[in-house]
Amino acid sequence: MSAHCDRNRATWADATPSIVRLRSSRVHHKTCPMKKMPYSATKGVCVRSMTYLYVQKRPTAMEWPPVEELRRREGVGRWGAERRSLARRRAQAVRCEGCNGSEPQSGRSRSWTRKRLQAVASPVPTTTKRVFTFGKGKSEGDKSMKSLLGGKGANLAEMASIGLSVPPGFTVSTEACQEYQEGGRKLPAGLWEEILEGLSAVEEVMGARLGDPSKPLLLSVRSGAAVSMPGMMDTVLNLGLNDEVVAGLALKSGERFAYDSYRRFLDMFGNVVMGIPHSLFEEKLEALKAVKGVKQDADLTAADLKELVTRYRKVYTEAKGEQFPTDPKRQLYMAVIAVFDSWDSPRANKYRSINQIKGLKGTAVNVQCMVFGNMGNTSGTGVLFTRNPSTGEKKLYGEFLINAQGEDVVAGIRTPEDLDKMKECMPQAYDELVENCNILERHYKEMMDIEFTVQENRLWMLQCRTGKRTGKGAVKIAVDMVNEGLVDKRSAIKMVEAGHLDQLLHPQFEDPSAYKDKVIATGLPASPGAAVGQVVFTADDAEAWHAQGKAVILVRTETSPEDVGGMHAAVGILTARGGMTSHAAVVARGWGKCCVSGCSDISVNEADKVVVLGDEVIQEGDWLSLNGSTGEVILGKQPLSPPALSGGLETFMSWVDETRQLKVMANADTPDDALTARNNGFPVTIRLLDPPLHEFLPEGNIEDIVTELAAETGTSEDEVFTRIEKLSEVNPMLGFRGCRLGISYPELTKMQARAIFEAAISMSNQGVKVLPEIMEFEHQLSLIRTVAQQVFTEMGTSISYKVGTMIEVPRAALVADEIAEQAEFFSFGTNDLTQMTFGYSRDDVGKFLPIYLSKGILQNDPFEVLDQKGVGQLIKIAAERGRRARPDLKVGICGEHGGEPSSVAFFAQAGLDYVSCSPFRVPIARLAAAQVVVVV
C-alpha cells in the first residue's frame, strides 16, 4: 500500500498486512528543505533515515494479534522494543512541503521507490494536542481545562502544579473521545502513538517500565468527564500484570500483595473491559473463603490468592473462550477503548438525561502509575469531603480502609471505618492530609471531594473535585465561607443550585419520637430527609412502579451504576453494604434522595425479593420509612410534615434578594397556596377562573355527580345533564375558558372583580398595602372599571389598580403593540402559549412527548423548560412591540416556567420585569434570578 501527501494534508495509509517491513531509500527531493531526509519521490513522503521500520496496523480491541503470533512473523524478534520506539520514530517523520512528484536527485526510478516504500504508519495531526502529562510538580494542563481534560484530569494537573503528591500520569482528552465516537468507535489516527509517548514520559519519571518484571510499572485507567458523573463510567486498576510481572512484583513487595493485586486486576479488567459479570468472580472468592474458613479478604494467604488467580483466569476463559490478554500494552489499549465506550453506556446516558447534562464532548481517560493501599497495615485508602456534605459542618467527613484499594471504598464492596481511624494508626499521613485539604479549599474556594491512598505511610492524592452536597449542606457551606472571608456573597450565590433549594422544601417526619418503637434497623445516614414508600428490589421494578404513580424504596445489598434509573425513580434508597461515600450515598446526595447505607443488620435476598431482619421478613410491596438524617429504618408508613426554612437559608436568601433584579411572585389558586407563598417570602398573584370548566367538576360516577348537583342547586337532574352536555368540549384546553367565559357570562367577571376590590380595600383599611393588578381582555375592561367604581362608592374609599392582559396565544404576541394601547401590563401565560405555539394539548402530550424526548426530537419537555427558539422569541417580540406602544409597560410571565432556572435566566436576559410561579418554586426562581446577575 502506498502513501501520499500534498500541500494541504498528509495522509499516511495503514499498513497491510498487520506487520510489514519498511526499508527506506536514501533519495532526496530536489526542492526538499530537509537535506538529509530520504523520501518517496513519487508520493512526496519524507522519512528519517533508518535501516528497517516495523509498522503496526492500528487494531481494534478484538483485532490485536497475540504477542506470540507477532513474534513468529517476519524478523520480528524484537517486536516489543520496536513498538516502544515507534512513537519516537513517528515524531521524526516529517511531511515534505512542496513535494510535487518530480524525480529524486539520485535519479532512481519511481517504480524502484514505490517497491521499496510500501507502507507507512498514520501520522498524528500536528494541530491538536490530545495527551497531556502531569506529575513531579509539572503539568501540561490546569483546572481551567475541564472541557478538554475532564474534571478529574484538570484537577490532577492542578494538584500536581501546586505541589501536592500526585502519582505521575497523563490524560487523553475529551476531544479524542469525541473523535473516537464520531469515527465509528475507532481510535483516531495517531492517538495510540501519542499515548505511548505519554507512557514513555511516565516510565522515565518513575524509573520503571510497563511489562518489565524487573522494574514493574502498574497503571490505573480512569474516566473523567467535564461534569462529575460518579460511578457512571469505567475504571481499571493494577493494569500491566501478567504471570511474569506478578512474579517480579512479588520479589519486590511480597507474594501476598502481588497476588492480591493480580486477582483484583483480573476481576476488574474482566468486568469493565470484557463485560464478564463481577458476580462470577465474587462467587469464586466467596467459595474460597468458605473453604478456607475465613470471613475477610485480608485473611487469605498468599497461597490462597495464587489459587484464586488460577480460578479467576478460568472464569475469563469460560466466559470469553480465550486466554486472558497477557501483553500489558494490549491491556492498556483495551482499557482506553473500554473507558471511551463507557461514555455511551446505558447507565451514563441515563445519568446525563436525568441530570440534563448536555453539550459535552466525551470522557477523558486518565492514566496514572499505581500507588497501593493494599501493602499491609501501613497502607490504606480513603475518600473524604473537606466539610460534611449533609450538614455543611466544617469538619473533615470521610472514611478509610486499611490494607485496601480505592474501589473498595467507592463501590461500597467493604464497609469502611470513620476517618478518625486513620488519625490513630497513621498520624503523620493524617496531618499531611488535613493540611492538603486546607490548601485545596483555599485554592478552589469550595468544599472538595478527595480520594487518597497511603502507601507504606506516604500520602498520595488521587483525585479532587467540587463535592456534591445536600441542600442543607450547600446553604450552610455558602454562608460559612462568606463569614470566614473565603468567598464573597456573589460567589456564595453561585455555590447553591436550584435543586438544593428544592430539597429544603421537601417534607420531614412529623414526630420522630412517635415511631421509635417501630425502628427495625439502623444504618448510616448517607443522605438526609424522610422517605416513605413500598419496597422493591431491582432498579427496573423501581422505574416500573414509579411509572404507575407508586412511591418506592429501592432496597439493595449494594447499588451499582446500573441501578441509576431505579435510584432516581425511588423516593429513598436502603443498602446493606457500603459507607457514607459509597456509590449509593454520593448519587443520592447529589439528587437530594433520602438514603440509608451500610445497614448490616439486614439481609437482602434479591432473588426471593425479601429482606430478613431477625424474625422480621419484609416482602416486596411492604411499606417502609427511612430517616436519612439518622439512618433509621422504620416499619410501615410514617406521617410527613412540610419543611421549615432555617436561619442559614434566610441569610442566604437575603443575599439573593439584594442581588437579583427580576421580581418574583407566586401564583395562588387557594388560600393555602397564598399562605405557602407568603411563608416562602413573596407577593401573591391570585388566579381567577381561567382553567377550562371541566377542571372545576368533581371526579367520580357521572350519575352520582348529577344527583348531588341537582340536590344542591334545586334543579332537576335533566337540567344538570343538559348543562353538562352543553359545556362539554372536544378539546377544552383550547376551548371555552379565560376571557371567553367572561364575555359569555359577564357576571363571572363582575363577581371576581368585586371580590378582589372588596378584599383589597378591607386589607388597606388594616394598614396592608394592596395594589390589585387584574388581567383581562379589552372587552372586559369597562366591566371591571364599573365594578371598581361601585365598590369604591359603597366602601367610601378607593385604591390604585391596574388592568392588563395575559398573552397566551401567538396572535396576541404578534399584535402586542395594539393590545398595549389599552393594557397597562402584559403577563405571558407560558403554559398555554407553549401549547398554542407547538399545537400540543397539555392533556394529551404525554402520549407522544416521551417518544420525542427519547429520540432526540426535543431536548426538553417544553412545558417544563421554555422553548427559547420558538416560544421565547414570541415573548421577545411581544415585549419589544408592547413597549414601543407603551414605554412604561410592565412585562412578566405566569406559569411553571417562572420557577425553572434556565427559563428564568432567559426571562431576565430578555428584559422582563417579573416572573410568577407556583408557591413551592418561589425560592428557586429567586435564586435563578440572582444567578443571572452574578455570572455575567
Q: How far apart are CA 622 and CA 634, in angstroms?
A: 12
Clarify whether residues 460 and 548 are in a common domain.
no
180 within 8 A of 340, measured Cβ to Cβ: yes
Q: How far apart are CA 475 and CA 520, in angstroms?
A: 32
521 within 8 A of 601, measured Cβ to Cβ: yes
Clarify whether residues 8 and 107 are in a common domain.
yes
Q: What is the CATH number of the domain that holds 555?
A: 3.50.30.10
Clarify whether residues 523 and 635 are in a common domain.
yes
> What's the confidence (pLDDT) of residue 590?
66
Residues 6+ apart with CB under 8 A from 808: 738, 828, 829, 832, 833, 836
Clarify whether residues 544 and 564 are in a common domain.
yes
pTM: 0.66
Q: How far apart are CA 568 and CA 576, in angstroms?
A: 19
Query: 238 in the Ramachandran plot: left (φ > 0), alpha (ψ -120 to 50) or beta?
Result: left
Q: How far apart are CA 40 and CA 110, in angstroms?
A: 8
In a domain, 174, yes or no: no
Q: Which set of grid coordinates corresponds to residue 649?
A: 437559608
Domain count, the chain: 6
> What's the confidence (pLDDT) of residue 558?
84
The DSSP code for 356 is: T
In a domain, 365, yes or no: no
Domain endpoint, select from 625, 641, 657: 641
pLDDT averaged over every residue in the chain: 80
Within a 10 A sphere around the Cβ of 185, how many other Cβ atoms?
13
Burial class (CB in 10 A: 0-12, 13-18, 19+), 492: buried
> What's the confidence (pLDDT) of residue 390?
83
Clarify whether residues 511 and 611 are in a common domain.
yes
Give residue-wise pLDDT tens across range 626-674: 998 788 999 999 998 777 666 789 899 999 999 999 999 877 666 766 6
Clarify whether residues 724 and 741 are in a common domain.
no
Clarify whether residues 717 and 771 are in a common domain.
no
Domain endpoint, select from 762, 780, 800: 800
In a domain, 154, yes or no: no
The ranges of the chain with pLDDT < 50 are 1-127
Q: How far apart are CA 261 and CA 249, in angstroms?
A: 10
Range of the structural domain that residue 728 is part of: 701-732
Q: What is the CATH number of the domain that holds 408?
A: 3.30.470.20
Q: How far apart are CA 522 and CA 537, in angstroms?
A: 19
Q: Which set of grid coordinates corresponds to residue 633?
A: 429504618
In a domain, 122, yes or no: no
SS3 state of residue 527: strand
Q: Which set of grid coordinates corresponds to residue 587?
A: 448519587
Amino acid at residue number 56: Q
Clarify whether residues 526 and 599 are in a common domain.
yes
Burial class (CB in 10 A: 0-12, 13-18, 19+), 640: middle
> What's the confidence (pLDDT) of residue 493?
97
> What's the confidence (pLDDT) of residue 773?
67
In a domain, 185, yes or no: no
Domain endpoint, select from 589, 610, 641: 641
Instruction: Tell me which residues are annotated as active site.
Output: 583, 894
Clarify whether residues 21 and 95 are in a common domain.
yes
Q: How far apart are CA 304 and CA 792, in angstroms?
A: 93
In a domain, 58, yes or no: yes
| The residue to which cell 428490589 is assigned | 537
In a domain, 577, yes or no: yes
Burial class (CB in 10 A: 0-12, 13-18, 19+), 551: middle
Clarify whether residues 713 and 766 are in a common domain.
no
> What's the confidence (pLDDT) of residue 67?
38
Clarify whether residues 449 and 537 are in a common domain.
no
- Pick out the residues of the known binding site for Mg(2+): 808, 832
Clarify whether residues 632 and 519 are in a common domain.
yes
In a domain, 569, yes or no: yes
- Pick out the residues of the known binding site: 808, 832
Closest CA to 483 of 397, 395, 394: 394
117 within 8 A of 182, measured Cβ to Cβ: no
Q: How far apart are CA 241 and CA 628, in angstroms?
A: 42
